[in-house]
């Protein structure tokens, strides 16, 4: 019932009482991934009735085009006999089902792939199993990328990195302080504590009052992806909303039923996301030994990969209503005022791989 504290809120209150204020990234990790009460752990958050809609849920063309990109990379990798096709946070499994359907055009690709899905939510794992039941390939599920042995890799992450926990800092007169979740009059409250974590170099010019978001989880995952690409042939495609240059300011927000709400609102029942800092991600991947390619808006990527042609083919046997749905979906995922400009695509490859279309070094 709205008004009653959520079960996670009660847990968090007990935690603060026992051990003191919780660093912000821990708060975010628990809100999203608490084994019992975490936002993703017990619900399907997608679609009109959920809290948000992602590109693969808008149109099948999204996953199909990513499939074509993967097949291209498979060729550039010299068609390895075995490779891991990895998706981080596959949601309902829609992108992967569309990708694999497109991949039927290249039987060697399907024969060589081992599907590895990185997903912590049992509810979404079940949905992924259903979505992929007829995909003609078996999959294994893992809690984190660390569980997957190094191998030739094609890795996809759509709207995954924005769900990784962030730390929040504020510049005070004498140095940095860190936001933490504590208690005020028995209720959860956000306050400042002396900074427990080190700040990266790009925060150096901050003025008093300015806020910095730092992403240790994204950094270590970026490094792990870079290492995989340095050890074996492979490529990765990371798609998310975010900024190309590390900059100060808060992008963290909470959303419930498509509306922004306060960060402390109904913990475990609201989605928490922060923009991806692609600058940091590039540094992490290259530190790990991977090569990153030039960041590209999602709309440019989709168009250069043939979105309009695919839409035309789909429209051939469609009714008038279906045709207008296809056109609207195309605009939604690629239009400059919709997801086309706001979402960015970062591609990374093994340093020795030729650069895949439509990216440049
Ligand atoms: N890629 C999907 C879903 C994006 S939502 C789409 O485009 O529709 C984020 C997904 O990542 C969900 O499947 C969620 O359960 C999963 N997830 C979030 N944090 C995770 C973590 N730390 N480890 C593994 N999976 C996580």
**Residue 327, preceding peptide bond in cis (omega within 30° of 0):** no
Beta-sheet pairing, 167-172 with 211-214: antiparallel
Quote the CA–CA distance of 48 and 53 in Å, as a whole number: 7
**Residue showing tokens 């191998």:** 151
**Structural tokens at position 8:** 């996670």
Quote the CA–CA distance of 113 and 168 in Å, as a whole number: 39
H-type alpha helices, the chain: 7-19, 24-33, 55-58, 60-76, 94-103, 107-112, 122-131, 216-231, 278-288, 298-304, 307-316, 320-334, 339-342
Q: How far is the CA of 346 from the centre of ligand 1 (A)?
A: 18
Quote the CA–CA distance of 154 and 113 in Å, as a whole number: 9
Q: Which atom of ligand 1 is nearest to the CA of 121?
A: 15
Q: How far is the CA of 90 from the centre of ligand 1 (A)?
A: 6
Q: Which atom of ligand 1 is nearest to the CA of 94?
A: 8
Q: Give the pLDDT of residue 1.
A: 46
> Per residue of the chain (361 residues), what is the pLDDT tens digit?
457 899 999 999 999 999 999 999 999 999 999 999 999 998 888 877 788 899 999 999 999 999 999 999 999 999 999 999 999 999 999 999 999 999 999 999 999 999 999 999 999 999 999 999 999 899 999 999 999 999 999 999 999 999 999 999 999 999 999 999 999 999 999 999 999 888 999 999 999 999 999 999 999 999 999 999 999 999 999 999 999 999 999 999 999 888 899 999 999 999 999 999 999 999 999 999 999 999 999 999 999 999 999 999 999 999 999 999 999 999 999 999 999 999 999 999 999 999 999 999 8
Q: Cα-Cα-Cα-Cα dihedral of 287, 290, 291, 294, to 10°?
A: -80
Query: Model's pTM, two decimal places?
Result: 0.97
Quote the CA–CA distance of 181 and 332 in Å, as a whole number: 37
Q: How far is the CA of 78 from the centre of ligand 1 (A)?
A: 30
DSSP label of 46: B
CA geometry: angle 124, 298, 44, nearest 5 deg: 15
Residue nearest to atom 14 of ligand 1 (CA): 89
Q: How far is the CA of 295 from the centre of ligand 1 (A)?
A: 22
Q: Give the pLDDT of residue 2.
A: 57
Q: Best mutation site among 55, 65, 120, 148 for ligand 1, i.e. most ligand atoms within 8 A of its Cβ? A: 120
Q: Which atom of ligand 1 is nearest to the CA of 45?
A: 5
Q: How far is the CA of 165 from the centre of ligand 1 (A)?
A: 12
* Ligand 1 pocket, residues with Cβ under 6 angstroms: 32-33, 40, 54, 56-57, 89-91, 95, 118-121, 124, 158-160, 163
């Amino acid at each position: 019932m709205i008004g009653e504290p959520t079960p996670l809120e009660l847990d968090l209150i007990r935690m603060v009482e026992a051990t003191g204020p919780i660093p912000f990234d821990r708060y975010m990790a628990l809100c999203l991934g608490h084994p019992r009460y975490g936002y993703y752990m017990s619900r399907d958050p997608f679609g009109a009735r959920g809290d948000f809609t992602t590109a693969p849920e808008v149109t099948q063309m999204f996953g199909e085009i990513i499939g074509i990109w993967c097949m291209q990379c498979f060729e550039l990798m010299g068609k390895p006999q075995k490779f891991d096709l990895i998706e981080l946070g596959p949601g309902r499994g829609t992108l992967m089902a569309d990708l694999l359907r497109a991949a039927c055009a290249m039987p060697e690709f399907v024969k060589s792939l081992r599907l590895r899905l990185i997903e912590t939510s049992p509810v979404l794992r079940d949905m992924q199993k259903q979505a992929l039941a007829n995909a003609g390939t078996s999959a294994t599920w893992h809690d984190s990328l660390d569980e997957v042995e190094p191998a030739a890799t094609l890795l996809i992450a759509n709207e995954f990195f924005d769900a990784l926990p962030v730390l929040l800092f504020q510049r005070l007169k004498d140095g940095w302080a860190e936001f933490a979740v504590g208690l005020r009059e028995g209720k959860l409250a956000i306050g400042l504590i002396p900074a427990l974590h080190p700040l990266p170099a790009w925060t150096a010019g901050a003025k008093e009052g300015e806020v910095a978001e730092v992403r240790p989880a994204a950094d270590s995952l970026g490094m792990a992806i870079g290492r995989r690409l340095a050890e074996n042939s492979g490529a990765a495609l990371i798609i998310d909303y975010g900024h190309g240059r590390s900059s100060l300011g808060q992008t963290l927000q909470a959303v419930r039923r498509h509306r922004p709400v306060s960060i402390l609102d109904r913990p475990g029942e609201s989605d928490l996301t922060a923009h991806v800092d692609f600058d940091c991600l590039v540094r992490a991947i290259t530190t790990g030994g991977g090569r990153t390619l030039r960041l590209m808006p999602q709309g440019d990527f989709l168009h250069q990969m043939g979105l309009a042609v695919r839409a035309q083919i789909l429209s051939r046997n469609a009714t008038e209503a279906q045709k207008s749905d296809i056109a609207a979906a195309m605009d939604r995922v690629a239009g400059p005022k919709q997801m086309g400009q706001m979402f960015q695509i970062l591609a990374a490859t093994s340093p020795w791989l030729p650069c895949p279309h439509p990216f440049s070094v």
